[in-house]
Amino acid sequence: MSTIAIDKSAPNRKMKYGSMSRDRTWALRWSYFFLTLFAMFSLLPPLYMLVTSLKGSAEISAATNPWWVFSPTLSNYIEILTSNQFLRFFWNSAMVSIFVVTITMLISVPAAFALARMRFWGSATLATGVFLTYLIPETLLFLPLFKMFATFGEFTGIQLINKWYVLLIVYPTLTVPFCTWIMIGYFASIPKELDEAAIIDGATWIQTLTRIFIPVAFPGIIAATIFAFTVSWAQFLYPLVFTTSIDQLVLPVGIITTLIKGDVFAWGQIMTGALLGAAPPLIIYAFLMDYYIAGLTAGATKG
């Protein structure tokens, strides 16, 4: 019979494991504390909107608890959704956003490919230039842009101002630089050998772009698409400046223009309209979140 020696050195290791675990616990507690803080910070306004949208105008003006609905009603929703005006704004917003996203992607994907891959004289400077354009605030640009369209109208007789499609020209000045920048980053993370292999396989630049780069960079393209959509859906200043007729307005401007009459704010309907207006981006984010994250963190890790 032989005895088996039992290793007694375990406690030492356990101590270390314990302290590691304590560090981790604290890190987690702090994370959750701040996560809760930020979640409240960003979720309270929409919650407030939801609560207010379910109240009648009498309850809103009464000094009751603003965080509670005593007599819930769907009247705001019914009024908004049966109003032709609101549906028109919604339609305008949708048209503008869809066209802008399409135009943006048609410009920025090939542009980013050219800037990232086709080494030509000045391509690096141009890439930086694209990003710098994005840094110029729209508040600086709307006056010169307005002047440009006015002059263009005088000379050609083509009136762009106060037509919803003027936004199709204006919005890409915001979306194209940023989307190009995202896509340059994404394309740059694709190994050089991949296009070299494609070139040796006999692909042209266009084929390399369409058959290799676009499929491989698909998460990046989704991220850029979502960005372009969000920007054009939420844009306020440009449509406020460039469109004035009710039938040409997009959603954010439409809600403000029609639901604020003088100093009378139809708060219930404003909240309802804003909430309904926030729905499409929310739905898109929810479905494409994984792609979006993969797109924005591209290059951080390999593969």
Site for another protein in 74-103 (CB under 8 A): none
End-to-end CA distance of the chain, in Å?
57
Cβ–Cβ < 8 Å for 221, 182: no
Site for another protein in 268-287 (CB under 8 A): none
Site string for another protein, 180-209 (x = CB under 8 A): -----------x-xx-xxxxxxxx---x--
Smaller CB distance to another protein: residue 133 or 189? Answer: 189
Smaller CB distance to another protein: residue 108 or 208? Answer: 208
Closest approach of another protein to the CB of residue 214, in Å:
10
DSSP letter (8 states) at residue 246: G
Site string for another protein, 206-225 (x = CB under 8 A): -x---xx--xx-x-------
Smaller CB distance to another protein: residue 74 or 197? Answer: 197
Question: Whole-angstrom Cα distance, residue 252 to residue 151?
Answer: 27
Closest approach of another protein to the CB of residue 115, in Å:
20
Smaller CB distance to another protein: residue 200 or 264? Answer: 200
Closest approach of another protein to the CB of residue 200, in Å:
5
Q: How many residues bind another protein (CB under 8 A)?
A: 18
Closest approach of another protein to the CB of residue 275, in Å:
39
How many CB atoms neighbour CB 34 within 10 A? 10
For residue 260, give the H/E element and its range.
strand 260-261
Token pair 């190009």 is at which residue?
Answer: 180
DSSP characters for 134-179?
HHS-HHHHHHHHHHHHHHHHHHH----TTSGGGHHHHTHHHHHHHH
Question: Whole-angstrom Cα distance, residue 80 to residue 91?
Answer: 14
The residues binding another protein (CB under 8 A) are 191, 193-194, 196-203, 207, 211-212, 215-216, 218, 303
